[in-house]
A and B are shown apart, each in its own frame.
Chain A
Amino acid sequence: MKLFKRILVLLTVVPLMFTTACKKESAPRIEQAPREEELVLRFGQAPYGDTLDMQISTGSLSASIADEVTESLLRFDDDNNEEVVLLTDFPTISEDGTAYSFELKPGVYFTNGTELHASDVKFTFERMFTPSTGAKSYSYFNMIVGAKEMLAGEAAELAGFEIIDDYHFIITLEYPYAPFIENLGTSYANILPEDACTAAGSSWGIDANLVGTGPYMIERNDPNTVCVLVKNPNYHGGEVKLDRIEVYFYADTTTKLLAYENDDIDVCDLSAAMLSQYMDAFANEITSYHPLGTCFLSLNLQNDVLANVNVRKAISAAINREEIVQYVLNGAGIPACTYLNPAIPGHDETYGVYEYSIDNAKALLAEAGYPDGVTISGGMVRQSEAPIAEAVQGYLAQAGVNLVFDVVDNATWNAERAGGALPFTFVTWNALYADADFQMYNYFYSTYSAGKSVNYNNAEFDALMDEARIVIDATKRTELYQAADRILSHDDMVCVPLYYPQSQFLAKPYVTDMKVGNLIYHLWNVGIDAQAKASY
């Protein structure tokens, strides 16, 4: 037996040596031991994708990082109220509501050393409207005079942007547009340094190629593993509490949460589906909040079966929203009673939760000509909405509606939906700020609804949308949106609202002031209590 022991030893030792050799050359080590006095926050989230350029990306995952580095003129605070960032005050608006005058805060520097001037703001918008940029969110700003010409490739300069001097400029709109100042506060309007951005070209936003005026700057960034942010020593808003923020990327939620449990990270988000696993053991470390969204079943009105309003109402009646929230979401949500989220002006509080009644559903189906049930096939669902889709499928089966769908990847889903012929899908549509225009216009207005595979075309609804866009009076706007929502989600039942989501994150007890806005993490105030961490 001695011999075999030797063989065994040999067989174990050789690979071990190999292993150690391998490890030595293992290139960029992710964890570099920080200096002892350094305050470092380790934040875990899903990979943000390809770019931190918020003109190209629309995701909150990108925004959570990009907003620490680049800033917009105004922004939304933790309670979704707008505040000025790069301006001395809110802009003044002309009598007719089309000309906005701005004054930049003097002495604001980008981290590459150049000072923020009006020309950078102008550059930012011109870049957004240049077709080759491929900007996704230009539609929130294309009411600026000259934007359409630039988008069509007919102009190289933005006519509606007038530079007075380095710190003053005027933006002119084609028509009064109520939510313009709000739109300026979104990440999509983050102000970019003209020289650095031009120099980076198409690689702007990729890896560490992002420079701004924000509280942190990117030290290094690998979108697959970790993004390291370090303190901006010259931040115009005062010193931040942390030296570094390390954002670790986890593609798998289960793994991310296990990493949190294992103390590999200090903060991470916690999805509703995983809540049941953590809500008891980690109750003290969970913070929950309500983003401004609605999860709904999006229906295509050109589908033979779904064209019938009674079928749509039957679907709604067959879904037990309370149960879905309680069991599928583990309580992380509010059962829907109308389309607009309760925090958005225009949400009508008089509605109760949509009534769940299989009998009603069956009666409505019979009325629609399907007494023996009906099959609706061809739907597509993204992985993120698959659990809710499966639950809804289960409920509808009880009423005799056989919902057939495939779970597909984003590329397929996007292409199919944009084609306008997708019969149904599930969507969680989040507003950027508490305004119904974003939530309704971009999805259900006749010219946009084909691109969402909804194909809704109701002149009355469109008229309400148009009117609400130009009315500045808040009460009047609220009334208009209430009327529009009634048509949308009750009379016509164009979509079947399911619930208003709740989001939550986990943070170790030594993490202070961890805040999140509307799905976007606000890391500019976050700190670490070194003593508490040491005794943790």
Chain B
Amino acid sequence: MGERNRDASRGYYQESWRVLKRNPVAMVCMIIVILLTLVAVLAPFIAPYDPNAIDMPSKLKAPCPEHLFGCDEMGRDILSRCIYGCRISLSVGLVSQLIALVIGYFMGVCAGYFGGKVDAVISFMIQVFSSLPDLLLAMALMFALGRGLANLYIALGVLSWAKTARLIRGTVLQLKQKEYVQACRIDGGSSLRIIMRHLLPNCIPTLIITVTMGIPSAILSEASLSFLGLGVRSPMASWGAMISASKMFIRTSPFYSLFPGFCMIITVIAFNMLGDGLRDALDPKLRK
């Protein structure tokens, strides 16, 4: 355990927040993340056009006052599509990581808490899943489930549960040695109670960090899947789908590729750096 008391308590989070506030890079990234979230939530109010409304005569129109980011190959407003794409990308990141979190936490806690055979089986599963190449597994799942947003959530969630589970298992193994957990066990506290009341709060820092760090890789995986033609359904806009559609027009209309590309890079950087900051703040020792 670290030098500071890592047992979750109000003091611990206050202390972490203070550390985080002192990290300017992390704070800037946090503001960007909040802004992006706002854009995603308020998309219908801030998007200047219907993102799916085609207008062929405006095909590949360069950025201009009416269309700040220009128009795509069907004359759809790229800014509006980027705004709605933010929704898709963030939700893909968040939902898939929440799915991973639920599965990963449950598996990790069971493995760490019960130990023995349960641990052996779950650890084995974790190893199996981490030995399968990510993108290939996601592809197979998308083939099996079919395209679509919900399936994307599931595929990318299943992809990353193993990492969460491994971290949680490690944390729980350490927590199990703590006196109050031991005491509760001796008192005959039910396993569920211990898992939910004592272990969960102490796992939260780990979970926050894995989710924050998992979101950018989920966003990038979505882009890769879109590039392979396995992303969201048309006419839905996702940054990945836009980047791969723009590939054909990059020579004459580079803006089409650059705007969603930059959106994605900024988002991914923001989450990555925020994740770094959170890790430093929440647990300086929780490193690979």
Interfacial residues, chain A to chain B (CB-CB below 8 A): 253-254, 273-274, 276-277, 320, 323-324, 326-328, 383, 386-387, 389-391, 393-395, 397, 404-409
Q: A391 and B147: CB pair below 8 A?
A: no
Q: B229 and A394: CB pair below 8 A?
A: no
Max chain B CB contacts within 10 Å: which of A253, A320, A328?
A328
**Known A320-B56, A390-B234: A328·B248 in contact at CB below 8 Å:** no
Cβ < 8 Å to A, chain B residues 47-83: 52-54, 56-57, 59-60, 73-75
Q: B59 and A406: CB pair below 8 A?
A: no
What are the 5 tightest A-B residue pairs by CB atom distance, in nearest-first order?
A394-B54, A327-B56, A323-B56, A390-B234, A327-B59
Output the least CB separation between A370 and chain B (Å): 20
Output the least CB separation between A278 and chain B (Å): 9
Cβ of B259 under 8 Å from chain A: no
Cβ of B131 under 8 Å from chain A: no
Chain A residues closer than 8 Å to B10, beta-carbon distance: none
Chain B residues closer than 8 Å to A327, beta-carbon distance: 56-57, 59, 73-75
Chain B residues closer than 8 Å to A405, beta-carbon distance: 233-234
Cβ of B249 under 8 Å from chain A: yes
> How far, in angstroms, from A276 to B251 measured CA to CA in the complex?
10
Q: B235 and A393: CB pair below 8 A?
A: yes
- Contact string against A for B residues 207-240, beta-carbon threshold 8 Å, 1 for contact and 0 otherwise: 0000000000000000000000100011100000
Chain A residues closer than 8 Å to B75, beta-carbon distance: 327
Output the least CB separation between A432 and chain B (Å): 29
Q: B247 and A394: CB pair below 8 A?
A: no
- Name the one of A274, A389, A397 contacting B52, with C-beta atoms under 8 angstroms: A397
Q: A274 and B56: CB pair below 8 A?
A: no
Taking chain A's interface residues, is the majority helix, strand, or loop, or is none over half, making it mixed? helix
A397, closest chain B residue (CB):
B52
> How far, in angstroms, from A254 to B252 measured CA to CA in the complex?
13
Q: Told that A391-B74, A407-B229 touch, could you supply 4 new A-B pairs with CB distance under 8 A?
A: A276-B60, A277-B249, A324-B56, A390-B234
- Name the one of A391, A406, A409 contacting B233, with C-beta atoms under 8 angstroms: A406
> How far, in angstroms, from A326 to B234 measured CA to CA in the complex?
21
Q: B249 and A390: CB pair below 8 A?
A: no
> How far, in angstroms, from A45 to B229 measured CA to CA in the complex?
21
> How far, in angstroms, from A390 to B242 measured CA to CA in the complex?
13
> How far, in angstroms, from A359 to B234 measured CA to CA in the complex?
25
Cβ of B146 under 8 Å from chain A: yes
Chain B residues closer than 8 Å to A391, beta-carbon distance: 54, 56, 74
Chain A residues closer than 8 Å to B57, beta-carbon distance: 323, 327
**Known A254-B248, A390-B235: A406·B147 in contact at CB below 8 Å:** yes
Output the least CB separation between B163 and chain A (Å): 29
Max chain A CB contacts within 10 Å: which of B53, B54, B146, B147?
B54
Interfacial residues, chain B to chain A (CB-CB below 8 A): 52-54, 56-57, 59-60, 73-75, 143, 146-148, 229, 233-235, 247-252
> How far, in angstroms, from A316 to B149 measured CA to CA in the complex?
29
B146, closest chain A residue (CB):
A406
> How far, in angstroms, from A323 to B250 measured CA to CA in the complex?
22
Q: B147 and A407: CB pair below 8 A?
A: yes
Please, could you name 24 A-B residue pairs with CB atoms under 8 Å apart, sorted by A? A254-B247, A254-B248, A274-B248, A276-B249, A277-B251, A323-B56, A327-B74, A328-B73, A328-B74, A386-B229, A390-B74, A390-B234, A391-B74, A393-B234, A394-B52, A397-B52, A397-B53, A405-B234, A406-B146, A406-B147, A406-B233, A407-B147, A407-B229, A409-B229
- Name the one of B60, B148, B250 contacting A406, with C-beta atoms under 8 angstroms: B148
Chain A residues closer than 8 Å to B249, beta-carbon distance: 276-277
> How far, in angstroms, from A403 to B242 measured CA to CA in the complex?
20
Output the least CB separation between B260 and chain A (Å): 16
Chain A residues closer than 8 Å to B234, beta-carbon distance: 386, 389-390, 393, 405, 407
> How far, in angstroms, from A408 to B148 measured CA to CA in the complex?
12
- Name the one of A328, A394, A406 contacting B53, with C-beta atoms under 8 angstroms: A394
> How far, in angstroms, from A391 to B74 measured CA to CA in the complex?
7
Output the least CB separation between A254 and chain B (Å): 6
Chain A residues closer than 8 Å to B146, beta-carbon distance: 406, 408
Chain B residues closer than 8 Å to A324, beta-carbon distance: 56
Output the least CB separation between A155 and chain B (Å): 41
Output the least CB separation between B121 and chain A (Å): 34
> How far, in angstroms, from A390 to B147 measured CA to CA in the complex?
15
Q: A395 and B54: CB pair below 8 A?
A: yes
Output the least CB separation between A109 and chain B (Å): 46
Chain B residues closer than 8 Å to A407, beta-carbon distance: 147, 229, 234
Q: B54 and A253: CB pair below 8 A?
A: no
> How far, in angstroms, from A383 to B227 measured CA to CA in the complex?
12
A323, closest chain B residue (CB):
B56
Output the least CB separation between B243 and chain A (Å): 13
Chain A residues closer than 8 Å to B73, beta-carbon distance: 327-328, 387
> How far, in angstroms, from A94 to B104 measured CA to CA in the complex?
78
> How far, in angstroms, from A404 to B60 measured CA to CA in the complex?
25
Max chain A CB contacts within 10 Å: which of B234, B235, B250?
B234
> How far, in angstroms, from A394 to B56 measured CA to CA in the complex?
10
Chain B residues closer than 8 Å to A404, beta-carbon distance: 233
> How far, in angstroms, from A528 to B66 measured CA to CA in the complex?
50
Q: A326 and B56: CB pair below 8 A?
A: yes
A381, closest chain B residue (CB):
B234
> How far, in angstroms, from A468 to B116 measured CA to CA in the complex?
78
> How far, in angstroms, from A394 to B234 measured CA to CA in the complex?
10
A322, closest chain B residue (CB):
B56
Chain A residues closer than 8 Å to B60, beta-carbon distance: 276
Output the least CB separation between B146 and chain A (Å): 6
Chain A residues closer than 8 Å to B54, beta-carbon distance: 391, 394-395
> How far, in angstroms, from A437 to B70 measured CA to CA in the complex?
47
Q: B56 and A277: CB pair below 8 A?
A: no
> How far, in angstroms, from A389 to B249 measured CA to CA in the complex?
19
Chain B residues closer than 8 Å to A328, beta-carbon distance: 56, 73-74
Output the least CB separation between A99 and chain B (Å): 51
Chain B residues closer than 8 Å to A406, beta-carbon distance: 146-148, 233
Output the least CB separation between B37 and chain A (Å): 29
> How far, in angstroms, from A274 to B249 measured CA to CA in the complex?
8
Chain A residues closer than 8 Å to B53, beta-carbon distance: 394, 397
A261, closest chain B residue (CB):
B251
Chain A residues closer than 8 Å to B248, beta-carbon distance: 253-254, 273-274, 277
> How far, in angstroms, from A406 to B57 measured CA to CA in the complex?
26
> How far, in angstroms, from A408 to B145 measured CA to CA in the complex?
12
